[in-house]
Amino acid sequence: MKQGETFIRVRYAETDKMGVVYHSRYLDWMEVGRTEYFRQLGMTYSEIEKNNIFLPVIKAYCQYKSPARYDDLLRIVTTVTSLQEVRLIFNYEIFREDKLLTLGETEHAFVNHLGRPIVLKKHNPFLWRRLLEAAGEHTES
Amino acid sequence: MKQGETFIRVRYAETDKMGVVYHSRYLDWMEVGRTEYFRQLGMTYSEIEKNNIFLPVIKAYCQYKSPARYDDLLRIVTTVTSLQEVRLIFNYEIFREDKLLTLGETEHAFVNHLGRPIVLKKHNPFLWRRLLEAAGEHTES
Amino acid sequence: MKQGETFIRVRYAETDKMGVVYHSRYLDWMEVGRTEYFRQLGMTYSEIEKNNIFLPVIKAYCQYKSPARYDDLLRIVTTVTSLQEVRLIFNYEIFREDKLLTLGETEHAFVNHLGRPIVLKKHNPFLWRRLLEAAGEHTES
Amino acid sequence: MKQGETFIRVRYAETDKMGVVYHSRYLDWMEVGRTEYFRQLGMTYSEIEKNNIFLPVIKAYCQYKSPARYDDLLRIVTTVTSLQEVRLIFNYEIFREDKLLTLGETEHAFVNHLGRPIVLKKHNPFLWRRLLEAAGEHTES
């Protein structure tokens, strides 16, 4: 099972009056995790969209264990935990050094530019195979 | 069981290049739902914080059924679905007219300005009673 | 000279660790001001875009006199201060009650979906006339 | 005159329905530029705040020459262009490869945690000297 790893630095704009990062910003970072995951997979998300494949988020979940703060350097570990004909699940772990701050999960549909579901295996066999390899034993195809 | 209702208008800044609202923005709107819920309960969230009570989000969940778009007028229905000694769960439904677009849930801890858990019943009996009445049969105290 | 007026309530997500609203959020609110301005003018910005007219911001300016805070109810006063063949300037004043918190200005080009400049007077005489009337003596056409 | 340089990658969350980056996000990036500028100067902005010095933005200006897009790798060049007893001006240039996309400027006051103006030279001679050296001939002290 392939893992993507990327780093972000917390921005002032991402904090709130409680003095820590506002909770919805973590979802923006998970998208950063996915972006780098696809790049490391050999097909950027920009290229995926140019191939008329869109991956809208249909479910998102986040568990906040410990707050991130301004200027923290964070590590996002991204994994594909489930790949099916018409949907995909990503898992995320966000760390400051060795401390796990946040766990997250997003579920995505495969759709075209009209929002219609597509079968990825037929629509883009290359991306399908790459994801299949990445997901490893988590795949149910 | 008391329900809070509030309306928001989708902003251009909340859309993304897919042409619809970016998925993390819905969490910001759920906070708007909570803010208005507390106001309707008789104690604003600003007052709650002045009483040294903070409600950080410890879990968030969102299910996206249909996208919201720029300039949509949305209705957010907010409900307390669980109240316990040290935590609180809110449920949200976001509608455009009668169409349910998004379901959400956030779980909150009761903490003080140092982030230490507090027992709301002792710390602020007024707010506790108001939430208890609002939650109705969902309470487990 | 026509003025648009709209109200917004400051969201928790818009604050930062300094305890007040983060400075870039005011630009999002100015867009809310423009959106309501166009609605009051008789042509929503959504309709404008459907007519293949886009108004990207080419310059933005903001002066921060006093901070806005979470849950403040703010009044945004929007004015067209200059209308020319290929560009448009909006001015904004943001108030909490009678106190002026922020002054802003945005300059926009008229372009089509390809980003090519268009002459609004020819492309959409209705919108041009409405803006001309709204701008009043500020117009230089 | 010292220049700070930092890189950011455009996030999906930063785009809007026009398909390009939403204009207020550039201000968030300029803050990233400042953050790295202070780090390279030898005193992080976190440390500055711990020394009871805050630099709220009192004016911001942005000129958009060409749009940034999702997944672009951008270079932010940050310069101190004016340093005075009670205020500081930063200038920013944002590039994609050699193309200048955006010019910006922010003006900051030196205040304490109560928002009261402070004279930086007395309050923190180290930071004052470092900024003075960085600003070079732009200084008027």
Tens digit of each residue's pLDDT (9 = 90 or more) over A2-55: 789 999 999 999 999 999 999 999 999 999 999 999 999 999 999 999 999 999
Instruction: State yes or no: is B72 an active-site residue.
Output: no
CA atoms of B129 and D140, how far apart (whole Å): 60
Mean pLDDT, chain B, rounded, equals: 94
The phi-psi region of residue B50 (left if phi > 0; otherwise alpha if psi is between -120 and 50; otherwise beta) is alpha
Which chain D positions have a beta carbon within 8 Å of B16's beta carbon?
A: 12-13, 15-17
Outline where D74-124 has alpha helix (H).
120-123
Q: Do A71 and D12 touch (CB under 8 A)?
A: no
Answer whether A87's CB lies under 8 Å from A141's CB: no
Q: Do B61 and A56 touch (CB under 8 A)?
A: no
Per-residue model confidence (pLDDT) at position C56: 97
D91 three-state secondary structure: strand
Confidence check: pLDDT of C98 > 50: yes
Stretch B7-18: mean pLDDT: 98
- With an 8 Å Cβ cutoff, the interface of chain D facing chain C consists of 18, 20, 23-25, 27-28, 54, 56-64, 67, 115
Quote the tokens at residue B132: 């208890």
Stretch C54-74: mean pLDDT: 98
Quote the tokens at residue D92: 């920013």
Give percent helix, percent strand, percent coil of chain A, each to the nearest 5: 30, 35, 30
Distance from the C59 Cα atom to the nearest Cα atom in chain D, whole angstroms:
4
Confidence check: pLDDT of D140 > 80: no
D141: Cβ contacts below 8 Å, ≥ 6 apart:
D83, D84, D85, D121, D132
Confidence check: pLDDT of D82 > 70: yes
Distance from chain centroid for Cα C28: 9
Confidence check: pLDDT of A141 > 50: no
Per-residue model confidence (pLDDT) at position C1: 64
Answer whether D128's CB lies under 8 Å from D139's CB: no
Per-residue model confidence (pLDDT) at position B1: 64
Instruction: Tell me which of A58-72, A127-141, B27-41 is least confident.
Output: A127-141
Between B134 and C78, residue with greater pLDDT:
C78
Quote the tokens at residue B76: 């957010």
Per-residue model confidence (pLDDT) at position C3: 85
Stretch C5-32: mean pLDDT: 98
pLDDT band at C135 (very low <50, low <70, confident <90, very high): confident
Which chain D positions have a beta carbon within 8 Å of C23's beta carbon?
A: 27, 56-57, 60
D neighbours by CB contacts (3+ pairs under 8 Å): A, B, C
Q: Name the residue among D27, D59, D115 with its Cβ closest to that of C24.
A: D27
Stretch B53-66: mean pLDDT: 98
H helix count then E strand count, chain A: 4, 5
Mean pLDDT, chain D, rounded, equals: 94
Predicted ipTM beyond 0.85: yes
Share of chain A above pLDDT 70, in %: 96
**What DSSP character marks residue B138?**
G
Which chain C positions have a beta carbon within 8 Å of B46's beta carbon?
A: 70-71
pLDDT band at A136 (very low <50, low <70, confident <90, very high): confident
Per-residue model confidence (pLDDT) at position D13: 98
Confidence check: pLDDT of D137 > 80: no
Per-residue model confidence (pLDDT) at position D16: 98
The string of pLDDT tens digits covering residues A91-132 is 999 999 999 999 999 999 999 999 999 999 999 999 999 999
pLDDT band at B135 (very low <50, low <70, confident <90, very high): confident
Pairing of strands A99-109, A87-96: antiparallel
Stretch B96-107: mean pLDDT: 98
Q: Do B16 and D13 touch (CB under 8 A)?
A: yes
What's the CATH number for C3-138? Answer: 3.10.129.10
C-alpha distance from residue B116 to each of B56, B83, B111 (Å): 11, 18, 5
Instruction: Tell me which of A129-138, C24-33, C76-85 is least confident.
Output: A129-138
The string of pLDDT tens digits covering residues B72-101 is 999 999 999 999 998 999 999 999 999 999
- With an 8 Å Cβ cutoff, the interface of chain D facing chain B consists of 12-13, 15-17, 19-20, 22, 24, 70
Q: Name the residue among A19, A22, A70 with its Cβ closest to that of C13.
A: A22
The string of pLDDT tens digits covering residues A68-89 is 999 999 999 999 999 999 899 9
CA atoms of B121 and D99, how far apart (whole Å): 60
The string of pLDDT tens digits covering residues D21-48 is 999 999 999 999 999 999 999 999 999 9
Between the two ends of chain A, the Cα-to-Cα distance in Å is 16
Q: Do A32 and D44 touch (CB under 8 A)?
A: no
Phi then psi for residue A71, to 5 deg, are 75, 0
A neighbours by CB contacts (3+ pairs under 8 Å): B, C, D
Confidence check: pLDDT of B137 > 70: no
The string of pLDDT tens digits covering residues D85-105 is 989 999 999 999 999 999 999
Per-residue model confidence (pLDDT) at position D58: 98
Confidence check: pLDDT of C131 > 50: yes
